[in-house]
Homo-oligomer: A and B are copies of this chain.
Amino acid sequence: MSEFDIITHYFSSLGAGENVRLSVGDDAAALRVDDGFELLVSTDTSAAGVHFPEDLFPEDIAYKAVAAAASDLAAMGASPLGMTLAISLPEHDSLWLHGFSQGLASASRDFNLPLIGGDTTRGLLSMTLTVMGQCPEGQKLLRSGARPTDLVCVSGSLGDSTFGLSMLQGNERGLDIDFEDQEYLLSRFSRPASRIELGERLRAQATSCIDISDGLLADATHIANASGCKLVIDSALIPLSTELVASVGRARAIELALTGGEDFELLFTLPESVSVPDHCTVIGFAEAGEGVLCDGVLKRGGYDHFH
């Protein structure tokens, strides 16, 4: 069996989906986009040593890669249709592949993304996922629609993921962290929650939306720039997990939330008239101007793999 055969072996049932007309096995896969819907497409690469530590469990490597890619669909308000996986692998290690395939299968279920195609190559460990979703025409969420007086909102809690990664990298050994808190914070890095349903709910409600992958300040800047307005954020309002605050204290937790990457929560703007969805928090508002004003200081920041 080739690597891809081994991976698809775990997908005998998961390659199927409501809109999948043809899955792995021919020259291309076929999907049905519903009448009146647009196709949304995003491609995301996760490479060992860049996006995750090489020794992360293969289950988590797969899960996190799918979660990261799916997060872009959530940010557009898209409902998932399917995904393709191109994977570069250093060697044929069937135990590793077994774990990887199980993580991929779990994520495929959790994010409702059947695996419809892919490719395997020899090389350093790296995955490129292309995720496809659909959204009713005219309802997709862009970065560019925020308007003055809109509320700035965020889902879940921020900063956990970047701290989880720091623990994995062995940078936090000086801290005395409760075991359950550790587990929670690690899982926030390796098993990001799905915000697909929230994205669907925000269709035709949010004026702008982005997923937090580069850090709150950096991604807020993307919305501010694309929308041509200023986002004013009060860091005291940023949602923080009790686990993160218990582990590092409130001041560092806020710093992690502002600049840490890969939370994969949604940052969005809502007209004042729209009610804030459950598990979401208002952290500021939009006004005329440009850039992101946080606690009275014009800021930029976040995590960038290259710069």
Contacts and interface: CB of A to CB of B under 8 A. Distances in A.
A39 interface: yes
A154 interface: no
A41 interface: yes
Interface residues of A, number: 63
A247 to B, nearest CB: 30
A173 interface: no
Contacts of A39: 30-33, 39, 132
A39 B82 CA distance: 11
A123 B122 contact: no
B88 A45 contact: yes
A238 B7 CA distance: 36
A238 to B, nearest CB: 21
Contacts of A211: 27
A133 B73 CA distance: 20
A279 interface: no
A122 B306 contact: yes
A68 to B, nearest CB: 10
Contact of A140 (B2, B30, B33, B133): B30
A121 B75 contact: no
A151 to B, nearest CB: 20
Q: How many copies of the chain does the oligomer comprise?
A: 2
Interface stretch (A52-60, A111-119, A252-260): A111-119
A3 B305 CA distance: 12
Given A38-B32, A76-B27, A305 B133 contact: no
Interface in A27-55: 27-33, 35, 38-45, 47, 50-51
A22 B84 contact: no
Contacts of A116: 41
Interface string A113-137: 0001111111110101011110101
Contacts of A209: 27
Interface string A93-122: 000000000000000000000001111111
A130 B72 contact: no
B2 A119 contact: no
B38 A30 contact: yes
Given A32-B39, A123-B124, 4 more contacts: A26-B76, A27-B75, A32-B38, A41-B132
Interface of A: 2-3, 21-22, 25-33, 35, 38-45, 47, 50-51, 72-73, 75-76, 78, 82, 84-86, 88, 116-124, 126, 128, 130-133, 135, 137, 140, 142-144, 209-211, 226, 305-307
6 contacts: A25-B226, A27-B210, A29-B40, A30-B140, A43-B85, A120-B306
